[in-house]
Chain A
């Protein structure tokens, strides 16, 4: 809300510079977006008005806040009768005495040359009549609680300079004297208004109704818009002439030829305006105010203000009457404010006098009650619906700075930290210790990036993505991580080791946590002592085994041929029958699509942490006694089919050996001279140990023979 200081000072005699006022108000709930000097003496303060305060989308609303902050009074407008310019009765129709926008004492009539300068705060009193030169019917009172229409004879032209410059300062473009006056009132009092050309209102009728299906309207911005029956419109006898609370229609627009206008000053249902504005994609100064909540008591006062302004600038002459349709009078609500509740919530004792000063300054009426006050809420304060809202008002203006800091007492021990957070921290330690840096990538990715990593019907699309780059939830962390690798490779980083821990999403599995890793470049790092080597499958597998060890997982691998893996260079990871992850080399074609070079060798792995948790063997751990008897180590070298997985042979050995076999592992693998084509020589080392005695040579020898026999019979293995 852009507030010219000179305009503000018509309502409140606030001392100090714009900077000082801005500083004061910014700690009372009105953050300041900027201050612009306006000539030598004036300035515009741009206040940020929070969504709950539509009453402050006006000069008078800000003035009330400023007055309360500075313990000042807001000046009230004076009332004159239309045409006669004689002092009129005090108007009791539209507001409580505490309402600063309400008329009060009569002020002197304007000076003869008044049209040359800004007006005083006067109103022209209008007589409420059943039917004037226009007939108003509200067909849907739920969506339009109040509608006031008044007829004014006008001479359309440009506004005087002071009015134009004031509108410009507040950020509104001057259009014509009539439209400018409606905008002036909107800015000053917060009441959106609209002017229709009476000659173009068929039948002299204003009907507030919902649109009929198939109806259209060309709005003031020149757009042809289709209406639907959920939208409220202002119609004449035949067709819609305005979208209620949003924008007027072009057909009934005030032009230079217009001689008589109907001024509209109404109150529309917030939700209805909001929905209509959203559906039409049309946000206006009016809709912005109505959708936050309008004051049902303001329309006639605003009408009187508009008429006074039109007369003041010589743009027109009100006929002195208003048709005010207000089927159900809105009564202000009264809330109990308990003294003890104020200190109970704020942690500070606010003196009764301060409570009264603040609330009355803002237009609330207070009556003493047993434990506090009964507070009557002005109808414009749509945000104040319960006691706590009143306490906020007190807190804002008493000052948050007057609350002394305390510390909440602990009344119970905190439960343990979420084990998933502990696990993530441990994994960060494992991964950074292995030379991997942590990446954080977005949770959504382009759908083309997702498709190699999940079936299309398992990917979760975003319904309203900002762009194709963020089109689907990531089914895997890997695509984002590949992007990060590519980003680094394009910036002269040869060795890239990255990992990420986070959520991934699928239709079948929902949201699940995973750790992903990507590795390209030298492994191990380049060193003077020997030639460097590019990362290969077994580097990545070693890393994965390290992570599994950290997660207390006894995982096995099996070859895997999913689409993003180089054929024959991929494996799935499982614990018993639960698949927990995948590792392998990224297909060069996919790497290139992410901006990598075709010959960049990138190894990837991903482990589902939720699945890992379900099969992890960490709980109930107890130490074993240390072995008391020596172990015996034996090696065996065999020649088998090169296509036979070592894991299968290892399993055969375990099955054939007695329980004394405590460990078996491959220590050599050889293909080439001396070994037939498509065969391989594999060497296993076996460690035997019994818990209760020293094994004899014969026992071990017998075990070795059973192992060899099994290898021979099951795998056609030959001993070397």
Chain B
């Protein structure tokens, strides 16, 4: 009896093993391999068990033999039904192998800077802004002088300018607004362009000289500076100009607008205004968001300050209003410039600005298709 009680668990264990492995079988080849493992004439597990009968006391042999035979039959019959099931699931004649790859209709990627651009355009469209483009080549008046930067103004050093060797005609803008009525026809290019605009702010002037307040516009576009290529500078980059002018517009409106926009762009961030200087705004403010890497406690990304500079802004300088024929006693306004590269770098964790201009497909393809 002690031996018999030792044999029974063997049979049960073998059965369990069979059932477990059978359940995992996916192909007829696998089934045959498994069946051989149990029933094979030479090394099958059941065959081996059968061979142990000879070592049992004669009186125990019949019962044990019967039990082993029962197991063997059970295995054979479950093998047969599994085989039938596998055969039944064979694909019909002419069936396609659905697991082969399809013919590729490749999807390209929108450039990350343009993703950012479209996102920002959408945010401001929702806030009731007009979105329009302006020329990339400009004249001194629109790029500097009307923005309170007369010739020889020291602030011009902040924006090292690229000049054209020969003046050309700048790009058209606002053509779609012409049918709106008298007085709304955009100013023609009265001056030939002599430089590459250093900021999209030039369009503030063109727009205000053409249209009366209220103004609420976003101007996305490329701008150029005489900067060397390095980790954080490119001689050409992309900006958004924002301009809001009307009765009773205040710095508080600027702040609320930025908080709404920056939360749409970056999620739940804190927004901080810091006094700064731009000739065409007064007061002027740099706008920071709380560092997303460290949450504001200080890290290498934010140089331990907890804040990341994201845009420059301010209340439109009265001299700018005077240059375009608006009355600064009647209207006030705010303006801002936001760098698309800066947003994209922070948003997507890009640490080298040059990646945006190499157009390496291994970089571009990392961005979602839509």
Contacts and interface: CB of A to CB of B under 8 A. Distances in A.
Whether A associates with B in a native complex is yes
B337 to A, nearest CB: 16
Contacts of A497: 106, 108
A73 B109 CA distance: 60
B176 A419 contact: yes
B85 interface: no
Interface string A369-406: 00000000000000000101101100110001101111
B360 interface: yes
B28 interface: no
A435 B257 contact: no
Contacts of B222: 443, 502-503
B172 A610 contact: yes
Interface string B254-295: 011101100000000000111111010011111000000000
Contact of B359 (A344, A412, A464, A487): A487
Contacts of A435: 105-108
A275 B128 CA distance: 45
Given A421-B121, A502-B222, A346 B252 contact: yes
Given A400-B273, A511-B169, A417 B125 contact: yes
Contacts of A333: none
Interface string A511-542: 11100000000001111110000000000000
A513 B171 CA distance: 8
A345 B125 contact: no
A623 interface: no
Contact of B282 (A29, A388, A499): A388
A418 interface: yes
Contacts of B256: 405-408
A511 B136 contact: yes
Nearest to A19: B304
A110 interface: no
A439 interface: yes
Given A275-B152, A408-B244, A507 B166 contact: yes
B235 A470 contact: yes
Contacts of B276: 29, 31, 50
Given A408-B249, A411-B214, A511-B168, A31 B131 contact: no
A292 interface: yes
B38 to A, nearest CB: 38
Interface in B46-88: none
A399 to B, nearest CB: 9
Contacts of B154: 51, 270, 274, 291-292
Given A407-B253, A460-B166, A505-B168, A438 B110 contact: yes
A415 B129 CA distance: 8
Tier of interface size on chain B: 35 or more
A437 B196 CA distance: 27
Contacts of A526: 104
A493 interface: yes
A414 B158 CA distance: 33
B145 interface: no
Q: Which of A404, A473, A487 has the most CB of B within 10 A?
A: A473
A668 interface: no
Interface string A607-630: 000100000000000000000000
B303 to A, nearest CB: 9
Contacts of A403: 251-252, 255, 273
Contacts of A438: 108-111, 114, 364
Contact of B246 (A411, A432, A444, A507): A411
A382 to B, nearest CB: 11
Contacts of A345: 250-251, 283, 315, 332
A507 to B, nearest CB: 6
A216 interface: no
A391 B166 contact: no
Contacts of B174: 418
Contact of B137 (A440, A496, A511): A511
B116 to A, nearest CB: 11
A348 interface: yes
Interface in B100-158: 100-101, 103-111, 113-114, 118, 121, 125, 128-133, 135-137, 152, 154-155, 157-158
B158 A439 contact: no
Contacts of A442: 234-236, 357
B252 A389 contact: no
B212 to A, nearest CB: 11
A26 B274 contact: yes
Contacts of B168: 460, 505-507, 510-511
A60 interface: no
A487 B165 contact: no
A497 B246 CA distance: 46
B193 A437 contact: no
A432 B369 contact: yes
B283 A347 contact: no
Interface string A262-291: 000000001100110000000000000001
A638 to B, nearest CB: 34
Interface in B356-370: 356-362, 364-365, 369
A436 B108 contact: yes
A464 B273 contact: no
Nearest to A413: B128
Nearest to B105: A435
Contacts of B300: none
6 contacts: A344-B248, A433-B107, A439-B359, A510-B168, A526-B104, A528-B101
Interface of A: 26-29, 31, 50-53, 270-271, 274-275, 291-292, 343-348, 386, 388-389, 391-392, 395-396, 400-401, 403-408, 410-421, 425, 428, 431-444, 460-466, 470, 473, 484, 487-488, 491, 493, 495-499, 502-503, 505-507, 509-513, 524-529, 610
Closest 6 CB pairs of A and B: A347-B252, A510-B169, A347-B250, A435-B106, A50-B277, A405-B256
